[in-house]
Structure 1
Amino acid sequence: MDPRIREHAEIIANHSVDLQAGDNVVVDAHPVAEDLVVALHEVIGDAGANPVTTSQRTGKRAQRAYLRASDDEFETPAHELALIEETDVYIAIRASDNVTQTADVDPEISAAYQQAHRPILEERLSTRWCLTQFPAPANAQLAEMSTEGYENFVWDAVNKDWDDQRAHQQHMVEILDPADEVRIVSGDTTDVTMSVDGNPTRNDYGEHNLPGGEVFTAPVPDSVEGEVLFDMPLYHQGREITDVYLEFEGGEVVSHSAAKNEALLTEVLNTDDGARRLGELGIGMNRDIDRFTYNMLFDEKMGDTVHMAVGRAYDDTVGEGNEQNDSAVHVDMIVDMSEDSFIEVDGERVQEDGTFVFEESES
Structure 2
Amino acid sequence: MDPRIREHAETIVDHSIELEAGDDLVVQMPTEAADLAAAIHELAGDRGANPVFLNNDDRAQRAFMRARGDDFETPEHQLALFEEADAFVIARAGGNVAEKSDVDPETTAAYNRAFRPVQRERLSKRWCLTQYPTRGHAQLAGMSTDAYENFVWDAVSLDWEEQGEFQAEMVDLLNDADEVRIRSGEGTDLTMFIAGNTAINDVGKKNLPGGEVFTAPVKDSVNGEVHFDMPLYRQGREIEDVRLRFEDGRVESFSAERNEDVLEGVFDTDEAARYLGELGIGMNRAIDRFTYNMLFDEKMGDTVHMAVGSAYPETVGEGNEVNESAEHVDMIVDMSEDSVIELDGEVVQRDGTFTFEEREAE
Output the CA distance in 2 between the equivalents of 1:362 and 1:127: 38
Aligned to 1:103, what secondary structure does the other structure show? Answer: coil
Output the CA distance in 2 between the equivalents of 1:155 and 1:357: 30
Paired residue for 2:83, among 79, 82, 85?
85
Output the CA distance in 2 between the equivalents of 1:189 and 1:34: 44
Per-residue CA deviation, residues 235-255 of structure 1 (Å, 9 max, x unaligned), is 111111110000011111111
Paired residue for 2:213, among 212, 215, 219?
215
TM-score (norm 1): 0.98
Contact 1:218–1:280 under 8 Å retained in 2: yes
The one-letter code of the counterpart of 2:67 is A
Output the CA distance in 1 between the equivalents of 2:283 and 2:305: 11
Partner residue of 1:344? 342
Partner residue of 2:32? 32
* Aligned pairs (5 A) from 1:278-289: 278-289=276-287
Question: Shift in Å at residue 362 of structure 1?
Answer: 4.4
Output the CA distance in 2 between the equivalents of 1:181 and 1:361: 23
Paired residue for 1:275, among 264, 273, 282?
273
Output the CA distance in 1 between the equivalents of 2:189 and 2:268: 24
* Aligned pairs (5 A) from 1:168-247: 168-247=166-245
The one-letter code of the counterpart of 1:3 is P
Output the CA distance in 1 between the equivalents of 2:58 and 2:318: 38
Partner residue of 1:19? 19
Q: Which runs of 4+ in 1 moved over 6 A?
A: none
Output the CA distance in 2 between the equivalents of 1:275 and 1:117: 15
Question: Shift in Å at residue 71 of structure 1?
Answer: 2.4
Query: Identity of paired residues, percent?
Result: 65
Contact 1:309–1:333 under 8 Å retained in 2: yes
Output the CA distance in 2 between the equivalents of 1:17 and 1:108: 34
* Structure 2: unaligned runs, 5 residues or longer: none
Paired residue for 1:96, among 94, 97, 110?
94
Per-residue CA deviation, residues 81-116 of structure 1 (Å, 9 max, x unaligned), is 111111111000111100000000111111111111
Output the CA distance in 1 between the equivalents of 2:165 and 2:175: 15
The one-letter code of the counterpart of 1:254 is E
Output the CA distance in 1 between the equivalents of 2:248 and 2:79: 36
Question: Shift in Å at residue 160 of structure 1?
Answer: 1.4
TM-score (norm 2): 0.98
Output the CA distance in 2 between the equivalents of 1:318 and 1:297: 22
Output the CA distance in 1 between the equivalents of 2:309 and 2:196: 19
Output the CA distance in 2 between the equivalents of 1:71 and 1:225: 36
Give the aligned length: 361
Partner residue of 1:123? 121
Per-residue CA deviation, residues 57-87 of structure 1 (Å, 9 max, x unaligned), is x410000111111121111111111111111
Aligned to 2:224, what secondary structure does the other structure show? Answer: strand
Question: Shift in Å at residue 359 of structure 1?
Answer: 1.6
The 3 A distance-change label for structure 1 pair 207 and 244 is same
Question: Shift in Å at residue 361 of structure 1?
Answer: 4.3
Partner residue of 1:52? 52
Paired residue for 2:64, among 57, 63, 66?
66
Question: Shift in Å at residue 143 of structure 1?
Answer: 0.2
Aligned to 1:117, what secondary structure does the other structure show? Answer: helix
Output the CA distance in 2 between the equivalents of 1:45 and 1:127: 20
Contact 1:312–1:330 under 8 Å retained in 2: yes
Contact 1:178–1:198 under 8 Å retained in 2: no
The one-letter code of the counterpart of 2:129 is L
Output the CA distance in 2 between the equivalents of 1:360 and 1:257: 37
Aligned to 2:220, what secondary structure does the other structure show? Answer: helix
Output the CA distance in 1 between the equivalents of 2:141 and 2:42: 30
Partner residue of 1:162? 160
Per-residue CA deviation, residues 152-178 of structure 1 (Å, 9 max, x unaligned), is 111111011100011000010010012
Output the CA distance in 1 between the equivalents of 2:109 and 2:9: 32
The one-letter code of the counterpart of 1:7 is E
Output the CA distance in 2 between the equivalents of 1:159 and 1:264: 34
Aligned to 1:105, what secondary structure does the other structure show? Answer: coil
Output the CA distance in 2 between the equivalents of 1:329 and 1:351: 29
Output the CA distance in 2 between the equivalents of 1:71 and 1:355: 47
Per-residue CA deviation, residues 302-335 of structure 1 (Å, 9 max, x unaligned), is 0110000000011001000111112110000000
Output the CA distance in 2 between the equivalents of 1:61 and 1:183: 42
The one-letter code of the counterpart of 2:270 is D
Partner residue of 1:138? 136
Output the CA distance in 1 between the equivalents of 2:256 and 2:69: 27
Partner residue of 1:262? 260
Contact 2:109–2:268 under 8 Å retained in 1: no
**Structure 1, 179-188 or 67-76: larger mean CA deviation:** 67-76
Output the CA distance in 1 between the equivalents of 2:76 and 2:270: 23
1:153 aligns with 2:151: yes
